[in-house]
Every structure is written in C-alpha cells, then in structure tokens.
Amino acid sequence: MTRAVVISGYGPPEVLRIGETEVGPPGPGQIRVAVRYAGVGPTDLAIRAGHLDAVFPAGPGAVLGFEAAGVVESVGPDVRDVATGDEVAVFLPGLGGYAELVVADFWVPKPASVAWTDAAALPASVEAAARVLEQLALGAGETLLLLGAAGSVGRIATQLAVGRGATVVAAVRPGDFAAMRDLGATPVDYAAIGNGRVDAVFDASGRGDLPGAIALAGGPQRVITLADHRAHELGVALSNVIPEGVRAALDLVMSQLAAGRLALQPQTVAPLAGTAGVHARLESGELRTKVLLEI
C-alpha cells in the first residue's frame, strides 16, 4: 500500500485525510513514479465537493490530483523514452497525484534546470491551455479575449497565444494588470470587460462574464470555456481532455520553461498532511497561488 491523501466521501475539506491506496505495477505504455510534488487545482476542489460526480466520480478512498512530478520508479512494457531513475512531470487524467506513488500514461522528462515545483505545476494547466488554443484555431494577427488570464491555465494560455502572434486581451482583477503586461497582454478588469470586438474567447475561469464575452466575439462559435456550467444554455463549447495532444503540449511547454521563456503563477508549497487546509484556503479565496503538495 502507498501513503496518500484519500477522501472519505464527498464533502468539505475535512474529508481529506492521510491514508493508503493501492497502486499497481505499470502496464504497457505506462510508468510508475515516486512523486516529489503534486499539483492542486480548482477541479480537485469541485470533485471533492461532489460537484463533478457525473464526470469524475470519486468514492470513499479516492485519491485526487491531476498532475505531479517525481522520479521514475519502474517502467511498463513498451516504454523506451524514459528509464528508472529519470525525473519526469506527469499528467494524470484519471487522478491519483496526492500520493507517494502514481501510475502515469502521460509524461515529459524534467530538465535539470527546471524546479520540481514548476514541473509539478505544469501538466494539467498546459494540457488545457494548449488544447483550447488548438480548438479555437487561434491564428497570428487575431485578437483573443482570455477570461481568467492570471490563473494557472490563463497565464500559460496567454503566453502561448502571444507566441502564436495573437493579441491577447487579458480579463483579470486590476491588481494583476502589471503581471499581464509583462506577459505581452493588454489587461482589462474582469468586472467590466468593455465593448471592443474580439475574434475568439478562451474562458479559463468558469466564473467570468461569459455572456458579455460572447457578445464581444459576435456569437458563441469561437468561444470555449473550461468550466462555466452555463456553457450549454449559452451555446458555448465546454472543453475536455483530448489525449492525442497531451504529449506534444507537455514537450513544447517544458522546453520553453527550461529555456526561461515561460512565467508561471506564483506558488505555495504545503506538506501532504496539510492538504485539507490548502483546499479550505483555496476555497475561501484566501490563497490565490498555485499550490504544490510536497510528498
């Protein structure tokens, strides 16, 4: 059995407790990783509360966490690009990151120059950011409105979109305007997104002015949200993981990070035993950073 944070059932942060979970050997095309840091994201909080039961059912004993970084402990049949002892970041669409060991289908080698915490903070946000920009088919010279541009997904998406030659209008709180300008974006207050026309909208918040954003784009056709529950009624696509794109996205962004060309959200590190407290502080809005659990 492996030490992990498990949930006792859906509920408040207190349902998260240190416990044990069974982690089997890696199958064909998989690796098993001894986790050093695991990323915490807002979707973890929604799953724990039971809000995503239809998509991510998590019964008693389930382990949350879509991303981690650590050392390859064993490799399954057919795995040739990494070996035991290699350092990697892993994306875990089936969860399991808040644990000492995890089996992964998707990984990227961690260059020595990349910090462990940065490697663990990347995978889920990179996957979502790169995927949605592809789905929007955002091209050079176009204008993208990014709701939630100062978040974990939003900051990466901003930099990838600027790198594509797009103009990014970053909807953030005024305190984040300077950070957005540093990333090459034009900030606007997310409480008043204005009336300038845009070609496409990436909602990386789920809590933004989606109806207003649709109006700025001239309709919902090129508007994609990651999390707004009004998506269906507003005629907007709600984007979910596309496995085929994961490896290319992780490779691209890890190499940009290693080259010093990517800025991430500020981070907080907490011990695994502090996971419930972290969920509570994120939920209350007291913590606005990316959180990495030290295993």
Ligand X SMILES: NC(=O)c1ccc[n+]([C@@H]2O[C@H](COP(=O)([O-])OP(=O)(O)OC[C@H]3O[C@@H](n4cnc5c(N)ncnc54)[C@H](OP(=O)(O)O)[C@@H]3O)[C@@H](O)[C@H]2O)c1
181 counts as binding ligand X under rule CB under 6 A: no
From the list 18-26, 145-153, 215-223, 244-252, the region that binds ligand X by CB under 6 A is 145-153
Residue selected from 21, 30, 158, 239 as contacting ligand X according to rule CB under 6 A? 239
Contact mark string toward ligand X, 188..217, x via CB under 6 A: --x-------------xxxxx---------
Count, residues near ligand X per rule CB under 6 A: 27
Q: Which stretch binds ligand X (CB under 6 A): 74-82, 150-158, 178-186, 273-281?
A: 150-158
In this structure, the number of other CB atoms found within 10 A of the CB of residue 249 comes to 25
DSSP 150: T
Angle at 40 between CA 66 and CA 137, to 5 degrees: 60
Look-up of token digits 């707004």: 228
Does 154 participate in binding ligand X (rule CB under 6 A)? yes
Residue 242: what residue type? I
**CA 223: distance to chain centroid?**
19
User: Which of 81, 240, 259, 273 is in the footprint of ligand X by CB under 6 A?
Assistant: 240
User: For residue 97, what are the contacts with CB-CB under 8 A and spacing of at least 6?
Assistant: 35, 38, 39, 63, 64, 65, 66, 67, 68, 90
φ, ψ at 294 (rounded to 5°) = -90, 120
Q: Which of 151, 187, 212, 220 binds ligand X (CB under 6 A)?
A: 151
119 is an interface residue for ligand X by CB under 6 A: no
Task: Show contacts of 171-177: CB within 8 Å, 24+ apart.
Answer: 171/145, 171/146, 171/147, 171/205, 171/208, 171/209, 171/213, 172/148, 176/149, 176/150
Q: Is 123 in the site for ligand X (CB under 6 A)?
A: no
* Residues in region 43-72 near ligand X by CB under 6 A: 43
Q: How far is the CB of 199 from ligand X (least distance, A)?
A: 19
Stretch binding ligand X (CB under 6 A), from 8-16, 82-90, 146-154, 160-168: 146-154
